[in-house]
């Protein structure tokens, strides 16, 4: 059933990672990504991995979720691996030669290195979405982007749209389910047939869905007007994001980590296996 | 008592335009409606679909502006654009479909929406949000997502979102039409609390007679005109007239009406079950004593 | 003859997750051919899940659904044929309208059955007439109609498939008294004329007692009772206990009974109440 789809990947909790200021979480996540790309050898990469592992343990999120978040991205990882494996040419003798394809030691190393880097990247990103609710994320993005208002960038409008989208996705999914059932009860054949036939069969579902979505939109606009909505100007927020001791500690730890990675990069030459 | 809403010869035409912006059709929805809503009262506006009752409600906080005549909210003309937010803050509006009124993904965030728009201090918002949620008895659900709630609960959240603004009047446009009996009861109980304990003026648009029976005053709208205006007892005694404009009367009233038709001397102001049972009982007793 | 038979029907949602819940719990039920049965129960009592099993929109977790004595999930049965046999009209069914004209929308179901030409035209026009839709409405867009009309177009769209069993989930929800009467009385007439088996889900006791011969009361996923309307209402105390409403007139009679005047346990319409009161007065009861 469509209802079973979960929106976002947020897992509520009370861990220290959950309680970090969401703005800092986004910034630190970006710093982590930068750090991963700075990590030039396996030692520094391993260091970043250990760091991520500790974060995961602190957030008290089940390790199964790591694999869950990796599954959809697996094809990309495999593709990158193969690309590196086949197309990087080294100076030494190739390890394997298969017709016009040859695999070099350098290619093998890089491909493993890249795979590990992407995996760490995904894991790092998912810690953010696992421990931060969509609304906190939206909120944080709005606040982080707010300096762009000066450039007339519609920051508030963007955040408002994201909030409304998040709010209505479950409603519209439920509605789609209902309309599909109603049309199936009238003998609609939504599951079989070729692509064109399937697309055609969806018309009786899509039209009512659009009609209803527009109706909802206009009613919502009216309700918002009745609650004195007038755009982002002069708006206050109930929840104030305040950064506390733990955020400062987090920034400090991140700084130390980056320094360690840089040191490892300098002291041990690239691919120093 | 002071009136919070006042309409003076309110007339509204619904104009249909074609693609070129030319007028193609004009329908009169409301004709010359003059009425006062007293502060602190609970008024039900009854009428069948298309009678103009919802259109009338939308004039009460300036969503629609009259074609002719005027509407005053706490003395402010609703056509005064510069004061539209004062008007919206004084008269809050709750709609039929609870799903389409909730903006945020968390209950408490949604209740805060109006206050955030008005630029209220964060601490004050927090206080008023908690208070509003407690008033509608939804405080324990403050962290829930709207789609996890029942229809009645969602509608109560929508009401909380309005009362957080501390309006003096709430206009409700068929707030129970999409709810199940349990949800309807929840909403009616909430409305009663708001009116009785918090002194908020309530105007409730409905086509349910049993809901109208709970109001202090009932206004019946038909074809854009005020057909009847009075206490529920006065209104429901017009059984024939109400039926002729497509409205129902409570079964208790109907029974009394039927008994009257068969020659019994029945008072015509009985609208609830207890009064009705009491009367029938007295009928039997009186009958016995005559013997 | 039993047209519907449920044997040990159980349905669970979200199996294997912490949210697992039993919506329908081991239900045995038989519905006779031509029966007009009202279904009542709270939101969440399992009635919506139950009715969606009857035309195969939901597959049972356990148990069997037999239509005309045949298990609908048997390999030899095409589930689409079951959907044509068992017409289901959802709550707020106007959401299913999508065609440019009322005519085309009503024709959608029969067309899916393979119906065409004169037969299709006949079915569409008949169904429209039976739901009280004027000829001139047929060429209009369904989106331009009033709420009550839209609802009747949706109903006509299902009736045009000429199902043997018609299931209606709150067909009058959200309509005003005229709209309600218009929809429900037409369904009742349709039942009388065609003898179709009808299951009507409603929250309104008043509506159910007005039209249905039998009542099925659902509570917590189980059948609380399924019997003739009179006999179900004889258990009005139990029905009130599980939190369901009885008609106001029945409540008045219950109040009278508390005062010591018993006019009978089978009063749920104004006419009957009037008749009993007048008779009681003629017989000069001795209560005081």
Q: Is residue A127 part of a domain?
A: yes
**Count of the separate structural domains present in chain A:** 2
> According to DSSP H, which parts of chain C are helical?
47-54, 79-85, 102-112, 117-130, 147-159, 177-194, 205-211, 229-233, 236-241, 248-258, 270-283
Asked if residue C17 has pLDDT above 90, the reply is no
Q: Is residue C238 part of a domain?
A: no
Residues C152 and C269 in one domain: no
Chain A residue numbers touching B89 (CB-CB < 8 A)? 228
- The arithmetic mean of pLDDT across residues A20-47, rounded, is 87
| Poorest-pLDDT segment among A94-108, B172-186, C38-52, C183-197 | A94-108
Q: What is the pLDDT of residue B85?
A: 93
Residues B258 and B151 in one domain: no
Q: Which domain holds residue C213?
A: 2-231
- The arithmetic mean of pLDDT across residues C241-255, rounded, is 87
Asked if residue B93 has pLDDT above 90, the reply is yes
pLDDT confidence of C162, banded at 50, 70, 90? very high
Q: Is residue A142 part of a domain?
A: no
Q: Does A171 touch chain B (CB under 8 A)?
A: yes
Q: Does C83 touch chain A (CB under 8 A)?
A: yes
Residues B283 and B156 in one domain: no
Under 8 Å CB pairs connecting chains A and B tally to 96
Cβ atoms of A128 and A44 within 8 Å: the answer is no
Cα(C273)–Cα(C253) distance, rounded to whole angstroms?
8
Number of neighbouring beta carbons within 10 Å of residue A71: 8
Cα(C90)–Cα(C169) distance, rounded to whole angstroms?
5
B169 torsion bin: left (phi>0), alpha (psi -120 to 50), beta (else)? beta
**Arithmetic mean of pLDDT over chain A:** 84
Q: What is the pLDDT of residue B15?
A: 83
Asked if residue A273 has pLDDT above 60, the reply is no
C44 torsion bin: left (phi>0), alpha (psi -120 to 50), beta (else)? left
ipTM surpasses 0.85: yes
Q: What is the pLDDT of residue B288?
A: 54
Asked if residue A7 has pLDDT above 60, the reply is no
In angstroms, the separation between the Cα of residue B163 and the nearest Cα of chain A is: 10
Residues B257 and B242 in one domain: no
Going by C-alpha positions, the residue among A95, A228, A233 that lies closest to residue A156 is: A233
Q: Which subunits sit against A, judged by 3+ Cβ pairs under 8 A?
A: B, C
Asked if residue A241 has pLDDT above 80, the reply is no
**Count of the separate structural domains present in chain B:** 2
Q: Which residues of A176-213 are buried (b: 16+ CB within 10 A; e: fewer)?
A: bebbbbbbbbbbbeeeeeeeeeeeebeebbebbbebbe
Asked if residue B237 has pLDDT above 90, the reply is no
**Arithmetic mean of pLDDT over chain B:** 91
Asked if residue C217 has pLDDT above 80, the reply is yes
Q: Does A222 touch chain B (CB under 8 A)?
A: yes
Q: Which subunits sit against C, judged by 3+ Cβ pairs under 8 A?
A: A, B
Q: What is the pLDDT of residue A8?
A: 52
Residues B186 and B201 in one domain: yes
| Poorest-pLDDT segment among A38-47, A91-100, B33-42, C246-255 | A91-100
Residues C198 and C69 in one domain: yes
Asked if residue B290 has pLDDT above 60, the reply is no
Residues B146 and B62 in one domain: yes
Asked if residue B83 has pLDDT above 50, the reply is yes
- The arithmetic mean of pLDDT across residues A30-46, rounded, is 87
Residues C6 and C69 in one domain: yes
Residues A63 and A28 in one domain: yes
A50 to A54, A120, B142: CA distances (angstroms): 6, 10, 38
Cβ atoms of B218 and B250 within 8 Å: the answer is no
Q: Which domain holds residue B35?
A: 3-247
Q: Is residue C236 part of a domain?
A: no
**Cβ distance of A187 and C93 shorter than 8 Å:** no
Cβ atoms of B199 and B122 within 8 Å: the answer is no
Residues B47 and B90 in one domain: yes
- Residue range A77-106, pLDDT digits in tens: 899 888 888 888 777 777 777 777 778 888
**Count of the separate structural domains present in chain C:** 2
Residues B189 and B263 in one domain: no
Cα(A235)–Cα(A156) distance, rounded to whole angstroms?
10
Q: Is the four-CA dihedral A18, A24, A30, A33 of positive or negative sign?
A: negative
Please report the DSSP string for A141-185 in residue order: HHHHHGGGGGGT--HHHHHHHHHHHHHHHHHHHHHHHHHHHHHHH
Residues C268 and C225 in one domain: no
Q: Is residue A222 part of a domain?
A: yes
- Residue range C249-276, pLDDT digits in tens: 888 998 888 888 888 888 888 888 999 8
Cβ atoms of B199 and B40 within 8 Å: the answer is yes
Q: Which domain holds residue A220?
A: 154-226
Q: Is residue A237 part of a domain?
A: no
pLDDT confidence of B1, banded at 50, 70, 90? low
Q: Does an H or E element contain B279, and which?
A: helix B273-290
Q: What are the backbone angles phi and psi of residue B11, rounded to the nearest 5°?
A: -125, 135
Going by C-alpha positions, the residue among C234, C228, C224, C225 that lies closest to residue C267 is: C234
Q: Is residue A66 part of a domain?
A: yes
In this complex, which of B85, B119, B145 lies closest to A235 when CB atoms are compared?
B119
Q: What are the backbone angles phi and psi of residue C285, rounded to the nearest 5°?
A: -60, 155
SS3 label, residue B30: strand
Residue of chain B with shortest Cα separation from C44: B150
Number of neighbouring beta carbons within 10 Å of residue B13: 14
Q: What is the CATH number of the domain that holds B102?
A: 3.40.50.300
**Cβ distance of B182 and C43 shorter than 8 Å:** yes
Residues A64 and A191 in one domain: no
Asked if residue A166 has pLDDT above 50, the reply is yes
Cα(C59)–Cα(C74) distance, rounded to whole angstroms?
12
Asked if residue B131 has pLDDT above 70, the reply is yes
Q: Which of C145, C176, C210, C242 to mutate to test the interface with B (most CBs of B within 10 A)?
A: C176
Residues A262 and A202 in one domain: no
Under 8 Å CB pairs connecting chains B and C tally to 94
Q: What is the pLDDT of residue B136?
A: 95
Residues A115 and A206 in one domain: no
Q: What is the CATH number of the domain that holds C206?
A: 3.40.50.300
Residues C220 and C276 in one domain: no
Residues C216 and C255 in one domain: no
pTM above 0.80, yes or no: yes
- Residue range C69-102, pLDDT digits in tens: 999 999 888 888 999 999 999 999 999 999 999 9
Cβ atoms of B91 and B167 within 8 Å: the answer is yes
- Residue range B178-215, pLDDT digits in tens: 998 889 999 999 999 999 999 999 999 998 888 999 99
pLDDT confidence of A127, banded at 50, 70, 90? confident
- % of chain B residues with pLDDT over 90: 66
Going by C-alpha positions, the residue among A188, A182, A204 that lies closest to residue C79 is: A188
In this complex, which of A227, A235, A238 lies closest to B161 when CB atoms are compared?
A227
Residues C13 and C37 in one domain: yes
Residues C167 and C265 in one domain: no
Residues A173 and A217 in one domain: yes
Residues B175 and B271 in one domain: no
- Written as six digits, the tokens of B7 are 């309409």
> According to DSSP H, which parts of B17-136 are helical?
53-59, 84-90, 107-117, 122-135
**Cβ distance of A189 and C98 shorter than 8 Å:** no
Residues B98 and B191 in one domain: yes
Residues C70 and C186 in one domain: yes
């Amino acid at each position: 059933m469509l209802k079973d789809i979960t929106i976002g990947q947020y897992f509520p909790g009370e861990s220290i990672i959950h309680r970090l200021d969401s703005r800092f979480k986004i910034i630190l996540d970006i710093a982590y990504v930068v750090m991963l790309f700075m990590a030039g050898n396996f030692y520094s990469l391993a260091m970043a991995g250990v760091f991520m592992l500790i974060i995961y343990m602190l957030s008290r999120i089940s390790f199964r979720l790591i694999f869950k978040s990796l599954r959809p991205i697996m094809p990309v990882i495999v593709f990158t691996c193969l690309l590196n494996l086949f197309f990087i040419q080294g100076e030494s003798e190739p390890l394997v030669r298969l017709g016009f394809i040859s695999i070099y030691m350098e290619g093998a190393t890089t491909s493993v290195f890249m795979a590990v880097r992407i995996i760490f990247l995904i894991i790092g990103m998912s810690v953010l979405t696992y421990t931060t609710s969509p609304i906190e994320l939206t909120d944080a993005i709005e606040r982080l982007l707010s300096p762009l208002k000066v450039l007339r960038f519609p920051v508030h409008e963007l955040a408002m749209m994201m909030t409304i989208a998040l709010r209505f996705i479950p409603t519209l999914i439920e509605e789609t389910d209902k309309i599909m059932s109603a049309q199936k009860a009238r003998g609609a054949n939504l599951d079989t047939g070729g692509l064109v036939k399937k697309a055609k069969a969806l018309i009786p579902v899509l039209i009512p869905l659009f009609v209803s979505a527009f109706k909802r939109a206009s009613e919502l606009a009216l309700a918002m007007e009745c609650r004195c909505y007038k755009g982002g100007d002069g708006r206050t927020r109930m929840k104030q994001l305040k950064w506390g001791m733990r955020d400062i500690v987090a920034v400090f730890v991140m700084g130390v980590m980056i320094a360690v990675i840089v040191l490892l990069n300098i002291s041990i030459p690239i691919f120093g296996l | 008592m002071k009136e919070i809403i006042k309409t003076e010869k309110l007339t509204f035409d619904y104009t249909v335009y074609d693609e070129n912006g030319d007028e193609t059709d004009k329908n009169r929805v409301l004709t010359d409606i003059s009425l006062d809503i007293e502060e602190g009262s609970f008024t039900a506006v009854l009428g069948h679909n298309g009678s103009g009752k919802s259109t009338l409600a939308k004039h009460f906080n300036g969503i629609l502006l009259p074609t002719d005549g005027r509407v005053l909210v706490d003395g402010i003309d609703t056509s005064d654009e510069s004061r539209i937010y004062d008007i919206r803050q004084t008269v809050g509006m709750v709609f039929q479909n609870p799903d389409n009124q909730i903006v945020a993904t968390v209950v408490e965030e949604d209740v805060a929406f109006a206050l955030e728009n008005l630029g209220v201090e964060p601490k004050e918002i927090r206080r008023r949000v908690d208070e509003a949620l407690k008033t509608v008895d939804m405080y324990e659900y403050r962290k829930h997502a709207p789609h996890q709630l029942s229809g009645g609960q969602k509608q109560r959240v929508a009401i909380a979102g309005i009362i957080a603004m501390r309006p003096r009047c709430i206009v409700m446009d068929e707030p129970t039409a999409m709810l199940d009996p349990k949800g309807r009861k929840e909403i009616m109980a909430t409305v009663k609390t708001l009116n009785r304990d918090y002194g908020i003026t309530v105007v409730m648009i409905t086509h349910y007679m049993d809901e109208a029976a709970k109001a202090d005053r009932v206004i019946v709208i038909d074809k854009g005109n005020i057909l009847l205006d009075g206490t529920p007892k006065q209104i429901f005694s017009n059984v024939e007239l109400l039926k002729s404009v497509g409205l129902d009367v409570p079964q208790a009233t109907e029974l009394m009406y039927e008994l009257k038709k068969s020659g019994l001397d029945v008072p015509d102001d009985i609208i609830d079950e207890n009064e009705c049972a009491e009367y029938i009982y007295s009928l039997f007793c009186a009958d016995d004593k005559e013997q | 003859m039993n047209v519907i038979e449920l044997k040990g029907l159980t349905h669970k949602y979200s199996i294997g997750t912490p949210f697992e819940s039993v919506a329908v719990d081991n239900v045995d039920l038989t519905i006779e051919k031509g029966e007009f049965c009202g279904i009542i129960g709270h939101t969440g009592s399992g009635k919506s899940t139950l009715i969606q099993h009857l035309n195969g929109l939901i597959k049972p977790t356990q148990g069997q659904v037999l239509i005309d004595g045949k298990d609908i999930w048997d390999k030899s049965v095409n589930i689409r044929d079951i959907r044509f046999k068992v017409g289901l009209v959802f709550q707020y069914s106007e959401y299913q309208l999508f065609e440019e004209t009322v005519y085309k929308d009503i024709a959608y179901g029969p067309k899916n059955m393979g119906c065409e030409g004169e037969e299709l035209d006949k079915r569409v026009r008949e169904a429209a007439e039976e739901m009280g839709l004027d000829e001139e409405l047929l060429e209009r867009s369904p989106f331009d109609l009033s709420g009550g009309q839209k609802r009747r177009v949706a109903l006509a769209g299902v009736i045009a498939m000429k199902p043997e069993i018609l299931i209606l989930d709150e067909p009058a929800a959200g309509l005003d008294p005229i709209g309600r009467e218009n929809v429900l009385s037409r369904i009742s007439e349709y039942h009388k004329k065609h003898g179709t088996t009808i299951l009507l889900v409603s929250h309104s006791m008043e509506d159910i007692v007005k039209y249905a011969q039998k009542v099925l009361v659902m509570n917590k996923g189980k059948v609380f009772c399924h019997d003739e309307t009179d006999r179900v209402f004889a258990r009005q105390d139990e029905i009130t206990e599980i939190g369901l409403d009885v008609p106001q007139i029945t409540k008045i009679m219950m109040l009278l009974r508390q005062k010591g005047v018993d006019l009978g346990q089978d009063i749920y319409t104004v006419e009957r109440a009037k008749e009993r009161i007048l008779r009681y007065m003629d017989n000069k009861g001795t209560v005081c």
